[in-house]
Every structure is written in structure tokens, then in C-alpha cells.
Amino acid sequence: SHISAQMRRTQCFFMSSLRLASIDLLYWRNVKQSGAVFSSVLLLLFSLTQFSVVSVGAYLALAALSATISFRIYKSVLQAVQKTDEGHPFKAYLEMEIAMSQDQISKYADKILLYSNTCMKELRRLFLVQDLVDSLKFAVLMWLLTYVGALFNGLTLLILAVVSMFTLPVVYEKHQAQIDQYVGLIRTQVNSVVGK
């Protein structure tokens, strides 16, 4: 009981730390880290536009293996020349516990199940026209998405989403007053049109 409570506190701390790290990443608090993540994700997405997922995965695995094997050989040669016994260079990582607990798997499975069931119920409601207005709105959305699909493929939309995630928060943070003013004007205009 005490151990499970401690694990829950550790998980909560980890999740809040992850959330803060994500926010810091998107707001470019650490420029080197944000730049590395942004460029890596963009490089991966652009690679996927040119090569298959299998090829990109294989090339990434080969690059990682080349780096780790080269580092291991370098450290082994260095240890032989200096006659030291530092051991395996990745020993700390090899001893690190990476297995997920049954509680973690159950928690994530429950969340996925809840989300899946909610989506299925909503889709059933929309497709079987439980509410005519909601089904018509959904039909209009799907019709608009056919035009989006004709202009962009899924990877292009994903690339645009990643670029937006890394640029819009910073732009909004720097120009918040002007953006809020224009959004307020647009919201007023939309509300007046909807009111008529």
C-alpha cells in the first residue's frame, strides 16, 4: 500500500514534470533543446514524405546502432590503451528499469477503452441521426474535410501542425495584446452575425 502510494506520487510528479517540459519546449525556453526536437521531428516527417515508414525506421535504427557500436568500440579501445577497467559504457542504462507495472498498463488501457467507447457512441449517434442538426453539422465538416484532403495529404497536415505547435505559442506570447484585441473584434463580429 505504501509502495503503491509512493508509485502514484512518482507518476503524478513525472506527468506534471513532463507537462512542464512540454510547455518549456513549445515556448522555446531552452533554445538548443527546442531546436533539436523541432528539427528532428521535421526531419522525420519530411523523410516520411520521401520514403516509406519501414525505410525511415530502418535508417533511424541503423544510425542509432552505428553511433552506439562506434562509441562502445571507442571506449573499449580507450580502456585497453589506458589499461583501465571502467566497464561497459552503457551500464547505467542497461541496469535501468524500463518495464511498465501492471497498474500503469491497466490505467492506460482503461483510458484508451473509455476514449474508444466514447468515440464509438458519438459516431453511432451521428451516423444514425439521433439529432438531425448534429448529424448535418458533422456532414458539413466531412464535406469540408474532402476539400482539405484534396489540397493536403496527412503528412503535410502533420508537418503544418508541428510547425504551428512550435511557432504559434511564441508568437502569441510576444504579441498577446494585439492578438487578443483582434480576436475580440472578430468574436464581436461573429456574435453579431450569429445574433442576426
Q: For 33-80, what is each residue's pLDDT tens digit?
A: 999 999 999 998 988 888 888 998 999 999 999 999 999 999 999 988
Per-residue pLDDT in tens (0 to 9) along the chain, 196 residues: 555 555 555 555 556 666 778 888 888 888 999 999 999 999 989 888 888 889 989 999 999 999 999 999 999 999 888 888 888 888 888 888 888 888 889 999 999 999 999 999 999 999 999 999 999 999 999 999 898 888 888 888 899 999 999 999 999 999 999 999 999 999 998 888 888 7
Task: Give the pLDDT score at 15.
Answer: 60
Task: Give the pLDDT score at 162.
Answer: 92
C-alpha cell at 136: 448535418
Task: Give the pLDDT score at 164.
Answer: 93
Identity of the amino acid at 101 = S
Cα gap 81→59, rounded to integer Å = 33
Pair 103, 4: CB distance under 8 Å: yes
Question: If you write DSSP's letter for every residue of 138-193 in order, what string do you get?
Answer: HHHHHHHHHHHHHH--HHHHHHHHHHHHHHHHHHHHHTHHHHHHHHHHHHHHHHHH
Task: Give the pLDDT score at 178.
Answer: 92
Cα gap 54→66, rounded to integer Å = 18
Cβ atoms within 10 Å of 166's Cβ, excluding its own:
20
Task: Give the pLDDT score at 16.
Answer: 66
C-alpha cell at 4: 503503491
Task: Give the pLDDT score at 93.
Answer: 87
Task: Give the pLDDT score at 6.
Answer: 55
Pair 163, 42: CB distance under 8 Å: yes
Nearest to 164 by CA among 45, 21, 53: 45
Q: In angstroms, how far is the first alpha carbon of the chain from the final one?
A: 60
Cα gap 187→184, rounded to integer Å = 5
Burial class (CB in 10 A: 0-12, 13-18, 19+), 96: exposed
Domain chopping of the chain, boundaries: 110-152, 159-195
